[in-house]
Amino acid sequence: MGSFLSHLKDTNWIDWKAWVCTCCCPGYVFAKVAYSKLQDDSYRLGVIWCCPCIFAFWYMKAVQRLEDGILNRILACIWTSFCSLCALYIGAVEEGIDPIEEGKACVQLAIKVAMIDRG
């Protein structure tokens, strides 16, 4: 339990970039971190969306500094169930998500989509 609590204590809780991304687009944060950490398995998460452990699995993959033990897995399940926004925030901090850069990338994608640009 100590390592789980210490990783919460060691988290930078005042990273405005991570909070902006987490509060404005939590689904985007989940998808971006999932793709970064799970690669091809990130696409398969949609198939098993009904499993109650999916968010805890995501969290354990997102937070690499967290030791992989049964107690940490149980605590991750409880943490992601009761404080999902905070869990997403920690994933955003770990990934280093920048809302300005992500916004630019989304605008560029929107332009490509509007222009049907395959390049």
Report the predicted TM-score, pTM, of the whole model to 2 decimal places. Answer: 0.88
pLDDT at site 100? 96
pLDDT at site 61? 93
* Low-confidence spans in the chain with pLDDT less than 70: none
- State how far the Cα of 18 lies from the Cα of 88, in Å rounded to an integer: 9
Cβ atoms of 55 and 27 closer than 8 Å: no
